[in-house]
A and B are shown apart, each in its own frame.
Chain A
Amino acid sequence: MKQVDGHSIFVPIDDSPPKTSVTPERVELGELKTLISSGGVVLVDGRAVKDFEAGHIPGAYNLPALEMETFFPQFAAQVTHDQLLAVYCGGHDCSLAQILAGSLAKKGFKRLKIYFGGYSEWFLGGNPVERGSGKNAARK
């Protein structure tokens, strides 16, 4: 209820996170590695669960872009809106990271970066990989 010109009116309450028109920045492998080593980034893998479990960047959360609504509550319980997120998927051919970044921006996450090189560039660069469920939101 809100008072306007002495009259009480109903104002719909919007308790959802603020909508943003965030354009995610691009992050390259070198910068990503620096961010990971400084602990200043949360990695989010947008691929399907099976693809994630077959191999992913160590420490990454799995939030399948095409099943966002199913897995988002578990993800949101572990990550806050002010954290820097680096979203990735399979590689340059993959559009899931962009889809996921768009969905996360709508959910109110403002600090977003997209790692377009994705899992394949990470792997081909000889970097360590993790297999199994890891921080898979689908399992929690």
Chain B
Amino acid sequence: MQHENKLREILAHPKTLFSVRLLLGIVFFVSSFGKILDPQSFAENLVAYQLIPSPQWVMYVAATLPWVEWFCGVFLLLGVFTRSVAILSSGLFVTFIAVMSTALFRGLNIHCGCFASGGEMIGPLSLMRNFFFLALSSILMLSDPDSYALQQVLSRKRRSEK
């Protein structure tokens, strides 16, 4: 019980929340970058998962998903709409975990497509990493924005001006 309270205290600490927000922001920002620059390679990665039946839909996902990640990254780094972005990013991580799990279950030996084209193959490590990011995202989802977030800074400023 005492350990539980201590853990809750650490997770709710503004510096913890700030670090988590920054880390997730960097992850999204970095992962989106290679895909935005080379959507064709990302589309090829998506094809390898063999889950989207239509090539048009693959191209659609390849063109939009990296930008969703980019906005998540920028918003998290700035600390704007933190909780809403955390809900969205949790949804993304759940989707990534589900997609990767089905590929592993089907025995596919394919590139993860997690960050840029090529790179690591799907496996327990990439799956564990997504679970870890989902946990971080859930922390942000269940907490109030940290005091360093831009939205908090602006609201403090507004209050002091009144």
Contact = CB atoms under 8 A, between A and B. Distances in A.
Q: A and B from one assembly?
A: yes
Contacts of B118: 93
B110 A90 contact: yes
A120 B109 contact: no
Interface stretch (A2-10, A26-34, A50-58, A104-112): A50-58
Given A50-B107, A124-B59, A125-B55, A91 B44 contact: yes
B108 A51 contact: yes
A115 interface: no
B50 interface: yes
Contacts of A55: 50
Given A50-B106, A51-B108, A54-B108, A92 B47 contact: no
Interface string B108-120: 1111000001100
Nearest to B107: A50
B55 A91 contact: no
Contact of A91 (B48, B50, B106, B108): B48
A124 B43 contact: yes
Interface residues of B, number: 18
Contacts of B106: 50, 54
Nearest to B51: A54
Interface residues of A, number: 18
B58 A48 contact: no
Contacts of A119: 47-48
Given A124-B55, A124-B59, A92 B110 contact: no
B112 to A, nearest CB: 11
A51 B43 contact: no
B45 interface: yes
Contacts of B58: 123-124
Contacts of B55: 123-126
Given A90-B110, A123-B55, 12 more contacts: A50-B106, A50-B109, A51-B109, A51-B110, A55-B50, A90-B47, A90-B111, A118-B44, A123-B58, A124-B55, A124-B59, A125-B55
13 contacts: A51-B48, A51-B108, A54-B50, A54-B106, A90-B111, A91-B48, A92-B44, A93-B117, A120-B48, A123-B58, A124-B43, A124-B59, A126-B55
